[in-house]
Amino acid sequence: MKNEIVIIGTEPPCARCDYLTRMVQDIVEEMQLDVPVRHVAYTSNGAHRVAAESGLLPGTAKDVAKKLAVRVN
């Protein structure tokens, strides 16, 4: 299986997701790595598959805060 970098975020990408994706793509190019970078929506089957492989659940920062009982604005 070929390695890839998957950015899991919102669709369309929020400013942070977009920035992170562009930053990672720039670093991959700068390091001349042959690794695809892609962005997927946290609600997609792909995001659920990637998360499940790590024993995680995809979600937003608000989902994480809710699970941890941390208040966010």
Q: Which residues contact 62 (CB under 8 A, 6 or more apart)?
A: 72
Going along 1-73, which residue ranges are E strands? 5-9, 37-41
Q: Summarize pLDDT for 4-27 with one digit per residue, the tens.
A: 999 998 899 889 989 999 999 999
* Alpha carbon distance, N-terminus to C-terminus of the chain: 40
Give the Å distances, CA to CA, from 9 to 1, 2, 38. Answer: 23, 22, 11
Q: Summarize pLDDT for 27-53 with one digit per residue, the tens.
A: 999 999 999 999 999 999 999 998 888
Query: Does pTM surpass 0.75?
Result: no
| CA–CA gap between residue 22 and residue 53 (Å, rounded) | 24
